[in-house]
């Protein structure tokens, strides 16, 4: 029990701190992409030491804490307060089954310490970890709907409706992207999926490129990141489902949305990019040694930060989709590609069970998936480009000529 409590407190504190400083990193990234200055003034109070703006998250946090907790009179107060709590609770609870590395080796110093390896996860041996993740992510939809409904505001209601439609549509694509990984690994345990990629040396991004593209695209939409940030489309909806929120309640919404991005980045690394495995670095290191444990944590952290930077770069580089484009991409492109990815994985896995890899001599069974998967991915890319160019068409409609007008 003490181990679980310590892990929970460290995880919650680390995630809150990381979310604050990742916001600062995103603002720096925005400044770099748009060729302007980011936050660089706030440093140590009462001094002239600026520390590259590292005090900005502290100033932002104090601003939210000291801001007036105003609740409009026309809202449903109970649901209005419950919505951000549901969002943050579901966003934090997901991390209970996400491993941040392999294990911490035993340690004894002057009679104090532990005599067994400690897994770097709160619930490391849950065999239904992926189902747990998807169940909690689905609960976030209720927070969005409740926030829009309880605000008793037309802007908030429209924002809640379109946000819930977006989350539900892309949740299907997200599930299909993961289903291929589950079929190939034969497990819903995240740690077992990482171990399988380490044992075979083939990451699932190589064996399932279509599933990877589908999952990453759906993860952008589930985290409401650009070019899929329709819930906060200020030009059309003022502020989306949280228009009436302010102070700490608004902060809970913003933290939950940011944690969804961190969760998506970690799942991409764990399910498709080998987790804490990297060729030539962690393959030779013993997991029961401190060197191996540190290397695994560093590799996982570097991969996760790299994916988060990719999220931020896309946000400040791509324009926002229209809502019809967003839904057309989900139902007409991502859903068929997800089904195709699952079908390819099922056929390859069945061929492996049938002993087809023995025909190819010394070719390992894991590499058997790579070539057909990439061939199918190239064909699918061509078919989508040819069959559905209007999905991403932003050209204005042509005005009818005089002879086209029917009287």
Which pLDDT score, from 0 to 100, does residue 400 have?
A: 53
Which pLDDT score, from 0 to 100, does residue 362 have?
A: 47
Tens-digit pLDDT profile for residues 162-175: 888 888 888 889 98
Which pLDDT score, from 0 to 100, does residue 269 have?
A: 95
Tens-digit pLDDT profile for residues 385-398: 777 655 555 565 55
Question: 3-state SS of the chain?
Answer: CHHHHHHHHHHHHHHHHHHHHHHHHHHHHHHHHCCCCCCCCCCCCCCCCCHHHCCHHHHHHHHHHHCCCCCCCCCCHHHHHHHHHHHHHHHHHHHHCCCCCCEECCEEECCEEECCCEECCCCCCCCCHHHHHHHHHHHHHHHHHHHHHHCCCHHHHHHHHHHHHHHHHHHHHHHHHHHHHHHHHCCCCHHHHHHHHHHHCCCHHHHCHHHHHHHHHHHHHHCCCCCCCHHHCHHHHCCHHHCCCCHHHHHHHHHHHHHHHHHHHHHHHHHHCCCCCCCCCCCCCCCCCHHHHHHHHHHHHHHHHHHHHHHHHHHCCCCCCCHHHHHHHHHHHHHHHHHHHHHHHHHHHHHHHCCHHHHHCCCCCHHHHHHHHHHHHHHHHHHHHHHCHHHHCCCCCCCCCHHHCCC
Low-confidence ranges of the chain (pLDDT < 50): 361-362, 404-405, 407
Which pLDDT score, from 0 to 100, does residue 357 have?
A: 52
pTM: 0.88
């Amino acid at each position: 029990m003490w181990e679980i409590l310590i892990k929970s407190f460290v995880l919650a504190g680390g995630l809150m701190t990381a979310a604050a400083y990742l916001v600062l990193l995103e603002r720096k990234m925005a400044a770099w992409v748009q060729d302007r200055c980011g936050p660089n003034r706030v440093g140590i109070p009462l001094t002239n030491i600026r520390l590259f703006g590292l005090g900005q998250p502290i100033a932002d946090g104090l601003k939210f804490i000291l801001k007036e907790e105003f609740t409009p009179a026309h809202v449903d107060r109970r649901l209005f307060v419950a919505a951000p709590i549901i969002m943050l609770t579901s966003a934090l609870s997901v991390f209970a089954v996400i491993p941040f590395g392999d294990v911490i080796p035993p340690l004894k110093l002057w009679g104090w310490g532990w005599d067994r390896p400690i897994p770097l996860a709160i619930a490391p041996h849950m065999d239904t970890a992926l189902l747990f993740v998807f169940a909690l992510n689905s609960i976030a939809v209720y927070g969005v709907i409740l926030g829009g409904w309880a605000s008793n505001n037309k802007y908030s209601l429209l924002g809640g409706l379109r946000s819930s439609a977006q989350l539900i549509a892309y949740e299907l694509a997200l599930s299909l992207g993961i289903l291929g990984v589950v079929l190939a690994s034969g497990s819903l345990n995240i740690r077992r999926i990482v171990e399988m990629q380490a044992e075979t040396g083939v990451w699932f991004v190589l064996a399932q490129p279509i599933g990877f593209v589908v999952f990453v695209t759906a993860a952008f939409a589930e985290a409401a990141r650009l070019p899929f940030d329709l819930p906060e489309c200020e030009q059309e909806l003022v502020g989306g489902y949280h228009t009436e929120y302010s102070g700490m309640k608004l902060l809970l919404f913003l933290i939950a949305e940011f944690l969804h991005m961190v969760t998506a980045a970690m799942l991409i690394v764990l399910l498709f990019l080998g987790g804490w495995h990297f060729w030539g670095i962690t393959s030779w290191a013993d997991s029961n040694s401190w060197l191996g444990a540190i290397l695994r944590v560093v590799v996982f952290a570097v991969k996760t930060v790299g994916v988060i930077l990719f999220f931020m770069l896309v946000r400040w580089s791509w324009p926002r989709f229209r809502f019809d484009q967003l839904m057309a991409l989900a139902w007409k492109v991502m859903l068929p590609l997800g089904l195709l990815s699952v079908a390819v994985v099922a056929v390859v896995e069945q061929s492996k069970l049938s002993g087809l890899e023995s025909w190819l001599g010394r070719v390992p069974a894991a590499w058997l998936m790579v070539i057909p998967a990439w061939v199918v991915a190239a064909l699918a890319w061509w078919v989508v480009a040819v069959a559905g160019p209007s999905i991403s068409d932003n050209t204005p409609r042509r005005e009818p000529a005089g002879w086209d007008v029917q009287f």
